Amino acid sequence: MKLKKREAILGYFYISPWLIGFLIFVAGPMIASLYFSFCDYQLLIPPKWIGINNYVRIFSDDPLFMKSLWNTLYYTVGSVILGVIGSLILAVLLNQRVRGETIFRSMFYLPTLTPAVAMAILWGWLFNTEFGLINRTLARIGIQGPAWLYSTEWVIPSFIIMSLWGIGGSRMIILLAGLQGIPQELYDAAEVDGVNWWTRFRYVTFPLLSPSLFFVTVTGIISSFQVFTTSYIMTSGGPANASLFYVLYLYRNAFEYFKMGYASALAWILFIIVIILTLLQFRLAGKWVYYGGQ
Amino acid sequence: MKKNIVSRVLLYLSLTVISILLLIPLLWAISTSLKEPSQIYTEHSPWIPNPILWTNYTEVWKVLPFATFYINSLIITIVPTIGALISSLLVAYGFARFDFPAKNILFYAVLSTMMIPSQVTIIPVFLIFKSLGWIDTFYPLIVPSFLGGGAFNIFLLRQFLMTIPRELDDAAKIDGCGSFDILRKILTPLLKPALATIAILTFMGHWNDFMGPLIYLKSLQKYPLALGLRFFQTHYGGIVGGTAHHNLLMSAAILSLIPCFILFISAQKYFVQGIVMSGLKQ
């Protein structure tokens, strides 16, 4: 009995850094921000309880909220769908017992190593309307390129294109590991049956890879939803708020307008959206993710 | 047989084309970073600069306190990485080797924090640091790492620890080792690959962090590279006109990504392992 108590004390001792951090930096702040979200809190004046007013205003009287939410959804859908397809293609190519796999994999991964700020600077320059490499190349084949970051229609497609630069990143490595985990016998059996590559992909690769695909899709959605640095640096949300993403709008409310209460309400809405999206994914997973036999 | 060769050729061809396409933004940035302005702002800007202005890379250090940015970046990256290593190791050890009340609930709490977007806690956390007078210091970017060290890191180390047989601990215990000595002398050496993975991923995460420094650091001499580049961009040739110095801007950007590249090339094995592990937590 005494020994058990000693073990428990030691256990708590070892996890105490996390426990303290959790209370100070996670649990406490979550409760606080939930409370602030029901307050008028302008930083210099103490928070004043105003009930659900912040939420009412967000949903009924804040066009920028809807705008930023829409922009973020647009970006998320585009970058996740195209990004997962792109990563999957690269992973399938690399999985063909390629000689020099490590070299190709490294080259595919290099873009992901680029810090977000450097990436924003590089791509801002590529997208430059007048001197940018993209429009210059388009001009060479007789196409007048759009104004990219200066165009309300093209600014989000620009961000999606930029996000595709990372298709060879962590997502591809996870998918590649998933592909390499598929037993060779299954492919051999398919070969004996003489099926074509699509049937093989559809009935062997896809079901066995679906847990990995599911994972990269969920994490992709969550991280795309939090896009911030690139839009802050490249467009500051412009032109005409066409690239005002959700977290950028939240950041402005909190740290530029110092509307801490309002920003907290925005943060909780973000949190709820992330939870709903994740749960929805898990619901949908039952329909296409295969968890058998492993 | 012939069909096989054709498909092999196509395979390598597409891999090569994709590699080149993905490298173009970097190559173009390097090319721009070595040009003189007259060669940049023209419709026929060449791929190979003529002349090649290596001096752009030395110029950057003069027009900006670039060395200060670099040192600041290293401080707010290396110190939290050390903190995360120590702290996540202790916590993972606690969860993997000891029994205590509410252990499972607490471990679920660790895992569930991975789901919480940092924006939800950022305002109260900012207020805490503000009330401590820590705005415009490195503490807000450093201290949290020592308290927990990141949920994913704890999870990763715990998984590794679970695979190490307890008999090793017991043998050491018989030899009179205390629990801390067991961790330090017996387990830590066995955890080296996992610790390397954590070190690399944490380093990259902090090196790339922008919002943290943006919120907490105010004065130029405290800026890390991420903020320094931003400052340089807005003052010396942002996207919106102004005095254009895209050659210097690009050389600054290239200089900022060098440590990540070096780290990746020298420790690729641990890198890949860590990413694959992150995919396994499902």
d(CA B156, CA B197): 9
Output phi, psi for A40, to 5 deg: -90, 115
Contact B98, A14 (CB under 8 A): yes
**pLDDT of the residue at A294:** 43
**pLDDT of the residue at B282:** 42
Binning pLDDT at 50, 70 and 90, where does residue A21 land?
very high
The Cα-based distances of A279 to A77, A117, A216 in angstroms read 17, 32, 15
What is chain B's mean pLDDT, rounded? 88
Interface confidence, given as ipTM, is: 0.89
- Let me know if residue A262 belongs to a domain: yes
Which of B19, B118, B282 is facing A215, going by the closest CB pair? Answer: B282
Q: Where are the beta strands (DSSP E) in chain B?
A: none
Residue B78: CB partners within 8 Å, gap ≥ 6? B203
Q: Is the pLDDT of residue B275 over 80?
A: no
Residue-number span of the structural domain to which A121 is assigned: 63-288
**pLDDT of the residue at B27:** 93
Copy the structure tokens of residue A139: 């001009």
- Let me know if residue A135 belongs to a domain: yes
- Let me know if residue A188 belongs to a domain: yes
- Let me know if residue A121 belongs to a domain: yes
Query: B250–A122: do the CB atoms touch at under 8 Å?
Result: yes
Residues of B in contact with A109 (CB under 8 A): 264
Give, in degrees to the nearest 5, the angle at Cα B176 between B174 and B177: 105
Output phi, psi for A49, to 5 deg: -65, 125
The count of domains in chain A is: 1
CB pairs under 8 A between A and B: 258
> B99-114, pLDDT tens digit by residue?
999 999 999 999 889 8
DSSP structural state of residue B45: -
Q: What length does chain B have? A: 282
Q: Is the pLDDT of residue A293 over 60?
A: no
Residues of A in contact with B279 (CB under 8 A): 173-174, 177-178, 212, 215-216
The percentage of residues in chain A with a pLDDT greater than 70, rounded to a whole number, is 99
Query: A33–B272: do the CB atoms touch at under 8 Å?
Result: no
Query: B264–A113: do the CB atoms touch at under 8 Å?
Result: yes
d(CA B46, CA A121): 20
Could you give the angle at which helices B66-97 and B151-163 cross, rounded to 10 degrees?
50
Copy the structure tokens of residue A217: 């899709």
> A242-251, pLDDT tens digit by residue?
999 999 999 9
- Let me know if residue A268 belongs to a domain: yes
Classified as helix, coil or strand, B217 is: coil
**pLDDT of the residue at B242:** 46
Stretch (H or E) spanning A267: helix A260-288
The residue-averaged pLDDT of B195-214 equals 92
Lowest-confidence region among A122-131, A213-222, B272-281: B272-281
On whether the pTM is more than 0.80, the answer is yes
Name which of A253, A261, A255, A250 is nearest A45 in CA terms: A261
- Let me know if residue A184 belongs to a domain: yes
Binning pLDDT at 50, 70 and 90, where does residue B237 land?
low
**pLDDT of the residue at A246:** 96
d(CA A131, CA B31): 14
Residues 169-198, chain A, touching B (beta carbon < 8 A)? 170, 173-174, 177-178
CATH number for the domain harbouring residue A152: 1.10.3720.10
**pLDDT of the residue at A108:** 92
Residues of B in contact with A250 (CB under 8 A): 119
A116 and chain B in contact, CB less than 8 A: yes
> B36-95, pLDDT tens digit by residue?
877 877 777 778 887 888 888 888 888 888 899 999 999 999 999 999 999 999 999 999
User: Which domains occur in chain B, in start order?
Assistant: 2-58 (no CATH), 61-280 (1.10.3720.10)
d(CA B254, CA A231): 20
B232 to chain A: nearest residue by CA?
A: A121
> A50-61, pLDDT tens digit by residue?
999 999 999 999
d(CA B36, CA B248): 9
A39 and chain B in contact, CB less than 8 A: no
Output phi, psi for A39, to 5 deg: -125, 155
- Let me know if residue A57 belongs to a domain: no
A126 and chain B in contact, CB less than 8 A: yes
Contact A278, A222 (CB under 8 A): yes
Shortest CA gap A61–chain B (Å):
22
Question: What is chain A's Cα-based Rg?
Answer: 24
- Let me know if residue A193 belongs to a domain: yes
Question: What is chain B's Cα-based Rg?
Answer: 24
Name which of B96, B98, B164 is nearest A3 in CA terms: B98
The percentage of residues in chain B with a pLDDT greater than 90, rounded to a whole number, is 50
d(CA B134, CA B111): 29
The Cα-based distances of A132 to A103, B34, B40, B119, B202 in angstroms read 29, 16, 10, 34, 34
Residues of B in contact with A124 (CB under 8 A): 233, 238-239
A272 and chain B in contact, CB less than 8 A: no
Binning pLDDT at 50, 70 and 90, where does residue A278 land?
confident
The residue-averaged pLDDT of A1-25 equals 91
Q: Is the pLDDT of residue B279 over 70?
A: no
> A101-157, pLDDT tens digit by residue?
888 988 999 999 999 999 999 999 899 888 889 998 998 888 888 999 999 999 999
d(CA B241, CA B120): 36
Contact A156, A187 (CB under 8 A): no
Which of B110, B148, B253 is facing A122, going by the closest CB pair? Answer: B253
Name which of A172, A214, A177 is nearest B273 in CA terms: A177
